[in-house]
Amino acid sequence: MNGVPRSINGVPKSINGVPKSINGVTKSINGVTKSINGVPKSINGVTKSINGVTKSINGVTKSINGVTRSMNEVLRSRNGVLRSMNGVPK
């Protein structure tokens, strides 16, 4: 197709010279690496992990169902006491 190799069933596909893998590990859209199912995905150079450990948006570390959650690099507290939810520091 217009000199761009494509293949199906877990073999990398290339669209406009950008490698793409379905049901594999890595997807690349416009040179940005994305990965699904617990493998880190990067959007505009920002690392995100779904069903994993760390989620970073604009350099701010977030953890879902993990340990630490920090917004704008400042731990949230109420009346000087760290807040926790279900025994997990927040």
Q: Tens digit of pLDDT per residue, the chain (90 long)? A: 444 445 544 445 555 544 555 444 455 545 445 555 444 555 554 555 544 445 555 544 555 444 444 443 444 445 545 555 555 554
pLDDT value of position 70: 46
* Total count of domains within the chain: 2
Q: Are 27 and 13 in contact (CB under 8 A)?
A: no
pLDDT value of position 38: 40
The pTM of this model reads 0.14
Query: Quick one: 46 and 75 in the same domain?
Result: no
Query: Quick one: 42 and 59 in the same domain?
Result: no
No. of H helices and E strands in the chain? 0, 12
Closest of 28, 22, 25 to residue 8, by C-alpha = 22
Residue 27: domain span? 1-50
The 10 Å CB-count burial string (b at 16+, else e) for 28-44 is beeeebebeeeebbeee
pLDDT value of position 9: 47
